[in-house]
Amino acid sequence: MFGMVSWFARNAVAANLLMVVAFIGGVLGFNQMEREMFPVVPVAGASVSMTWQGASPQDVEEQIITRIEEAVADIDGLDRITSIARESFGVVNIRGRDDIDMQVFIDEIKLRVDQINNLPQAAFRPHVTRW
Same domain as 13, residue 76: no
Instruction: Answer whether residue 123 is part of any domain.
Output: yes
What does the pLDDT look like over 74-86, one tens digit per residue?
998 898 999 999 9
Cβ atoms of 91 and 83 closer than 8 Å: yes
Cβ atoms of 44 and 95 closer than 8 Å: yes
Same domain as 68, residue 119: yes
Same domain as 64, residue 25: no
What pTM does this model have?
0.68
Instruction: Answer whether residue 38 is part of any domain.
Output: no
Which amino acid does the sequence have at 75?
I
Instruction: Answer whether residue 62 is part of any domain.
Output: yes
Same domain as 110, residue 52: yes
Tell me what percent of the residues of the chain surpass a pLDDT of 70: 99
Does residue 121 register a pLDDT over 80? yes
DSSP 46-57: EEEEEE-TT--H
What average pLDDT does the structure give for the chain?
90
Same domain as 122, residue 94: yes
Per-residue pLDDT, 37: 84
